[in-house]
């Protein structure tokens, strides 16, 4: 019997030499290197070819394995299980699919999550061979699925027991990968505290990429489960046993059993995502700290280079006089007894002055602060180039101090005035105010002074003056 070797079509319609070799071993039609992938039987890109084969393991209603890695035609699977060709494209083992999907159909539930590609029916489970899956995870999942399907005493229907096993296996895979990543990240971060080298930085970059991919897969799983929870029609279609008994569920039916199952899985996936976010944030913070440390070391090296250049500049300035007196020209200082000592002192002083001035300027530029100074030079932004404050800053400070003193004086004067009024009111209490009157058709009460005031010649009311002192009251 000839075994089938799947051919992976490329996106541009052409197939590589390795795929062409596999097709040559299974096809009866002679092929060449110029043959397009769509012309090879079993490699149709858009149409469903009857010769496309899939491998799957079938478990019966009692949880026993009926077929192990059986080879079936894709067209036969669609006709026998009432599926459309587009439904099987999601779980086609030839093409790796990174987007997790959970599809509800009348004949079954299609699941494509991580290493599991399965079709759950009311009395059978079809496990399709995955693409580059872990044999250990697949074996443990099959054993767990067999154990759960054989529990006839459970109140859950057959399809929900199978779905629970699938979700539990997916969650175990997520947690195992999370544990491995946590151990690797902790060891790497501890090693970076002692020494930072090129190899560790490369490993940190790889770990960051793996965490990003793992986080994307986990969020995709959560999105797939959330989409099912938000669609009552899909959840109603997942009650396959009830539909087979002639009691199909509707969107208005009680779907609590399936909803609790999916919500529990969703919460556990959220916990995994939260832990991934914490690890990813720790890695990002470490990367930022490493970048700051490397930048600081680079700045130190640049400072050392600038310091050396400044010292070299000072020495070069001193050698200027040496070069001048080294020329074969008459300067009339050759016979002077102190000319040599004087020129040497001048050269030495000039070298020291240039070096000290350059180093002081460099130290001012390196003195960085968080506050932005008022210098008009854009290069001095955020750099305290001098300890002496600017003139306009001093003027602003003096103006602020004067306004603050004026405000405090006004507050003291106001408090003294209020204290005097309070003492006066205690000695000479004011009579109670008359009741307020409300004008007809008005929403707010009128002031008594406005009611008793005499009209002015211009048609306006004259305001009553309230006593503000002892003389006014007398």
Tell me how many domains the chain contains. 2
Is residue 415 a part of any domain in this protein? no
DSSP state of 444: S
Question: Over 60: is that where the pLDDT of 314 sits?
Answer: yes
Q: What is the predicted pLDDT for the residue at 273?
A: 93
b/e code 13-27 from CB counts within 10 Å (16+ = b):
eebeeebbebbeebb
Structure token digits, residue 279? 């690890």
Question: Over 60: is that where the pLDDT of 390 sits?
Answer: no
| CA dihedral (75, 79, 85, 90) positive or negative | negative
**CB-based contact 117:130 (threshold 8 Å):** yes
**CB-based contact 31:24 (threshold 8 Å):** yes
**CB-based contact 214:98 (threshold 8 Å):** no
> Are residues 219 and 332 located together in one domain of the fold?
no
Question: Over 60: is that where the pLDDT of 173 sits?
Answer: yes
Each residue of 422-467: pLDDT tens digit? 666 656 555 555 555 444 444 445 444 444 444 444 444 444 444 4
Given 297, 315, 337, the domain boundary residue is 297
Q: Which of 48, 49, 67, 47 shows the shortest CA–CA distance to 57?
A: 67
Each residue of 224-252: pLDDT tens digit? 999 999 888 888 888 888 888 877 777 76
> Are residues 276 and 315 located together in one domain of the fold?
no
> Are residues 206 and 342 located together in one domain of the fold?
no
**CB-based contact 108:144 (threshold 8 Å):** no
Q: Which of 122, 125, 121, 99 shows the shortest CA–CA distance to 112?
A: 99
Q: Which of 60, 123, 115, 73 shows the shortest CA–CA distance to 91?
A: 115
Q: Which of 42, 64, 67 shows the shortest CA–CA distance to 53?
A: 42
Q: Which of 83, 212, 207, 104 shows the shortest CA–CA distance to 163?
A: 104
Structure token digits, residue 111? 């699941």
Do the bridges between strand 65-73 and strand 116-120 make them parallel or antiparallel, or are there none, so unpaired? Answer: unpaired
Distance CA 60, CA 368 (A): 74
Alpha helix segments (H runs only) across 334-374: 339-366
The residue among 382 and 266 whose pLDDT is bigger is: 266
Is residue 254 a part of any domain in this protein? yes
Is residue 329 a part of any domain in this protein? yes
Is residue 462 a part of any domain in this protein? no
> Are residues 325 and 286 located together in one domain of the fold?
no
Is residue 450 a part of any domain in this protein? no
Q: Which helix (H) or strand (E) holds 125?
A: strand 125-128
Distance CA 141, CA 148 (A): 11
Each residue of 121-141: pLDDT tens digit? 888 888 887 666 667 777 778
213: left (phi over 0), alpha (psi -120 to 50) or beta: alpha
Helices 158-194 + 256-325 axis angle, to 10: 20
Distance CA 166, CA 261 (A): 12
DSSP state of 68: E
Instruction: Give the highest mean pLDDT range of 37-46, 94-103, 335-344.
Output: 335-344
Residues 6 or more apart whose Cβ sits within 8 Å of residue 466: none
Each residue of 279-291: pLDDT tens digit? 988 888 888 888 8
Query: Helix (H, G, I), strand (E, B), or coil: what is residue 180?
Result: helix
Which structural domain, as residue segments, surrounds residue 74? 53-297
Q: Which residues share a beta bridge with 359?
A: none
C-alpha distance from residue 144 to each of 183, 241, 264, 331 (Å)? 27, 21, 19, 104
Is residue 31 a part of any domain in this protein? no
> Are residues 251 and 176 located together in one domain of the fold?
yes
Q: What is the predicted pLDDT for the residue at 54?
A: 76
> Are residues 303 and 198 located together in one domain of the fold?
no
Is residue 419 a part of any domain in this protein? no
The residue among 427 and 326 whose pLDDT is bigger is: 326
Given 270, 297, 324, the domain boundary residue is 297
Given 339, 357, 375, the domain boundary residue is 357
- Mean pLDDT, the chain, whole residue set: 73
Structure token digits, residue 220? 């995709």
Question: Over 60: is that where the pLDDT of 323 sits?
Answer: yes
Helices 158-194 + 135-149 axis angle, to 10: 150
């Amino acid at each position: 019997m000839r075994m089938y070797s799947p051919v992976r079509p490329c996106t541009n319609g052409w197939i590589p030499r390795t795929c062409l070799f596999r097709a040559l071993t299974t096809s009866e039609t002679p092929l060449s290197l110029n043959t397009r992938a769509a012309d090879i039987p079993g490699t149709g890109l858009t149409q469903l070819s009857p010769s496309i084969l899939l491998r799957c393991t079938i478990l019966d209603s009692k949880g026993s394995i009926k077929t192990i890695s059986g080879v079936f035609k894709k067209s036969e699977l669609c006709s026998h299980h009432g599926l459309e060709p587009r439904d099987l494209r999601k779980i086609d083992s030839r093409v790796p699919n990174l987007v997790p999907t959970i599809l509800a159909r009348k004949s079954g539930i299609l699941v494509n999550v991580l290493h599991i590609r399965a079709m759950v029916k009311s009395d059978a489970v079809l496990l399709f061979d995955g693409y580059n899956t872990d044999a250990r995870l697949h074996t443990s999942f099959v054993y767990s699925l067999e154990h759960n399907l054989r529990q006839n005493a459970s109140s859950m229907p057959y399809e929900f027991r199978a779905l629970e096993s699938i979700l539990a296996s997916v969650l175990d895979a997520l947690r195992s990968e999370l544990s491995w990543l946590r151990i690797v990240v902790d060891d790497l971060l501890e090693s970076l505290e002692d020494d930072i080298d090129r190899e560790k930085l490369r490993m940190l970059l790889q770990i960051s990429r793996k965490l990003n991919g793992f986080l994307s897969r986990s969020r995709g799983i959560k999105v797939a489960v959330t989409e099912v929870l938000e669609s009552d029609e899909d959840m109603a279609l997942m009650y396959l046993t009830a539909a087979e008994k002639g009691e199909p569920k509707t969107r208005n039916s009680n779907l609590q059993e399936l909803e609790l199952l999916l919500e529990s899985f969703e919460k556990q996936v959220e916990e995994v995502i939260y832990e991934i976010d914490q690890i990813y944030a720790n890695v990002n913070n470490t990367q930022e700290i490493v970048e700051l440390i490397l930048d600081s070391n680079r700045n130190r090296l640049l400072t050392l280079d600038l310091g050396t250049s400044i010292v070299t500049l000072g020495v070069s300035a001193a050698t200027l006089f040496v070069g001048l007196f080294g020329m074969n020209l008459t300067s009339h200082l050759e016979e002077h007894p102190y000319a040599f000592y004087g020129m040497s002192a001048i050269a030495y002083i000039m070298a020291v002055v240039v070096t000290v001035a350059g180093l002081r300027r460099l130290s001012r530029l390196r003195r960085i602060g968080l506050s932005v100074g008022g210098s008009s030079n854009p290069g001095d932004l955020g750099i305290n180039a001098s300890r002496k404050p600017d003139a306009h800053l001093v003027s602003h400070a003096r103006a602020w101090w004067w306004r603050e003193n004026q405000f405090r004086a006004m507050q003291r004067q106001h408090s003294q005035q209020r204290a005097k009024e309070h003492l006066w009111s205690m000695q000479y209490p004011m009579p109670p105010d008359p009741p307020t009157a409300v004008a007809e058709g008005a929403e707010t009460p009128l002031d008594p002074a406005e009611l008793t005031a005499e009209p002015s010649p211009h048609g306006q009311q004259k305001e009553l003056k309230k006593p503000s002192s002892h003389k006014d009251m007398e």
